């Protein structure tokens, strides 16, 4: 087990190194840099001023030197400065992580707490009206774009209650704090719950046809015991995989929801940083997301062993 962990850790480091190279060079392939954008906005360019600013920001250096400067800084804990705000990159990035983490956490909670039970019910009641209704709901969840759903929620809130659940940075009560995240989390979680539900359903249908389930029923086990104790335990592995992937996606992929609900999270910040070609912010933020994805995958792999005793990671 220890050797396996060391190997995984080494692979994770190699992956992160590869990602750092890809991020860095892809970002430079995209035409234009911060200086182009600043001068484009002004509709004015004095080549000398432009060169001065490029020198000041270090983007006149050869690419390899720039890469080594960045990686060297990362290893020393120096994340550089934002080109736009001129504040330390870490100071800009850190406050946004808890916001997105809360939103993603709530969305996952919504997804799991709705998607798994409904998936089980849909499988157990296969071919019934309830199953059809739940499948329609899950298909809707997958089909409706979250920006549309978000805008619909906002418009309906204003029309029906004269209120609007957009982000409140200083909630006065826990209810306000909950409302700040709950509505957008539901908008995102709806799609995620639909996916979870479909995976749970198909996995359950496969397991429910296994011999040991028939044996359990023959031995007189209750429906609840068969469905939730015997079947779900074995059907949950693909669901965990999906939830793991969703968790990683939600950290960096909430751009639409963060924009519609005006949440100052990681994804919206990342898109703005890309728009400005704010390299220090983009590089460090994407690296952070990469770390989350890599660790989420690692956690999912570890959870397999917890949920399925047949799986053991050996040396």
Among 2, 31, 62, 306, indicate the residue that binds another protein (CB under 8 A).
31
With binding defined as CB under 8 A, does residue 180 bind another protein? no
Among 2, 77, 86, 127, indicate the residue that binds another protein (CB under 8 A).
86
Give me the least distance between CB of 65 and another protein, in Å please.
23
What's the chain's length in residues? Answer: 315
Binders in 182-241 for another protein, by CB under 8 A: none
CA end-to-end span of the chain? 5
Provide the 10 A C-beta neighbour count for residue 181: 22
With binding defined as CB under 8 A, does residue 151 bind another protein? yes
With binding defined as CB under 8 A, does residue 54 bind another protein? no
Residue 170 or 314: which CB sits closer to another protein?
170
Task: State the Cα–Cα distance between residues 172 and 102, nearest whole angstrom.
Answer: 17
With binding defined as CB under 8 A, does residue 268 bind another protein? yes
Give me the least distance between CB of 48 and another protein, in Å please.
10
Provide the 10 A C-beta neighbour count for residue 300: 18
Among 37, 205, 291, 303, indicate the residue that binds another protein (CB under 8 A).
37
Binding mask 155-174 for another protein (x = CB under 8 A): x-xx---xxx-x--x-----
With binding defined as CB under 8 A, does residue 45 bind another protein? yes
Number of H helices, E strands in the chain: 15, 0
Extended strands (E) in 43-158 = none
Residue 52 or 60: which CB sits closer to another protein?
52
Task: State the Cα–Cα distance between residues 95 and 239, nearest whole angstrom.
Answer: 31
* Cβ–Cβ under 8 Å, residues 63 and 25: yes
Task: State the Cα–Cα distance between residues 91 and 93, nearest whole angstrom.
Answer: 6
Give me the least distance between CB of 158 and another protein, in Å please.
5
Residue 167 or 298: which CB sits closer to another protein?
167
Q: What are phi and psi of 104, to 5 degrees?
A: -65, -40
Question: What dihedral angle (degrees, nearest 10) is formed by the CA atoms of 269, 275, 279, 281?
Answer: -10
Task: State the Cα–Cα distance between residues 34 and 245, nearest whole angstrom.
Answer: 33
With binding defined as CB under 8 A, does residue 28 bind another protein? no
User: How many residues bind another protein, per CB under 8 A?
Assistant: 45
Provide the 10 A C-beta neighbour count for residue 307: 14
With binding defined as CB under 8 A, does residue 38 bind another protein? yes
* Cβ–Cβ under 8 Å, residues 130 and 119: no
Give me the least distance between CB of 218 and another protein, in Å please.
58
Among 9, 26, 32, 109, indicate the residue that binds another protein (CB under 8 A).
32
Task: State the Cα–Cα distance between residues 101 and 117, nearest whole angstrom.
Answer: 24
With binding defined as CB under 8 A, does residue 51 bind another protein? no
- Site for another protein, rule CB under 8 A: 31-33, 36-46, 49, 52-53, 56, 82, 84-87, 92, 151, 154-155, 157-158, 162-164, 166, 169, 259-262, 264, 268-269, 272, 275-277
């Amino acid at each position: 087990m220890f050797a396996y962990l060391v190997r995984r850790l080494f692979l994770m480091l190699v992956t992160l190194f590869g990602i750092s190279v890809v991020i860095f060079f892809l970002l430079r392939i995209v035409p234009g840099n911060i200086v182009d954008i600043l001068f484009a906005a002004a509709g004015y360019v004095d080549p000398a001023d432009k060169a001065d600013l490029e020198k000041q920001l270090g983007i006149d250096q050869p690419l390899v030197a720039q890469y080594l400067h960045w990686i060297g800084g990362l290893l020393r804990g120096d994340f550089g400065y934002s080109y736009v705000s001129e504040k330390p990159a870490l100071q800009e990035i850190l406050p946004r992580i808890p916001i997105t983490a809360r939103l993603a956490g709530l969305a996952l909670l919504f997804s799991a707490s709705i998607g798994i039970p409904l998936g089980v019910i849909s499988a157990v009641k296969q071919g019934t009206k309830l199953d059809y209704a739940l499948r329609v709901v899950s298909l809707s969840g997958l089909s409706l774009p979250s920006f549309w759903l978000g805008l619909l929620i906002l418009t309906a809130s204003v029309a029906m209650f004269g209120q609007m659940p957009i982000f409140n940075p200083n909630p006065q009560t826990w209810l306000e704090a909950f409302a700040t995240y709950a509505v957008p989390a539901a908008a995102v979680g709806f799609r995620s719950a639909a996916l979870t539900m479909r995976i749970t359903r198909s996995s359950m249908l496969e397991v429910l046809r296994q011999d040991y389930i028939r044996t359990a029923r023959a031995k007189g086990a209750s429906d609840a015991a068969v469905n939730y104790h015997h079947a779900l335990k074995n059907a949950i592995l693909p669901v965990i995989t999906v939830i793991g992937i969703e968790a990683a996606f939600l950290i960096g992929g909430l751009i639409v929801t963060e924009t519609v609900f005006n949440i100052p999270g990681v994804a919206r910040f990342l898109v703005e940083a890309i728009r400005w070609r704010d390299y220090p912010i983009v590089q460090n933020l994407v690296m952070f997301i990469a770390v989350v994805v890599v660790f989420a995958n690692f956690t999912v792999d570890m959870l397999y062993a917890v949920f399925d005793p047949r799986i053991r990671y050996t040396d």
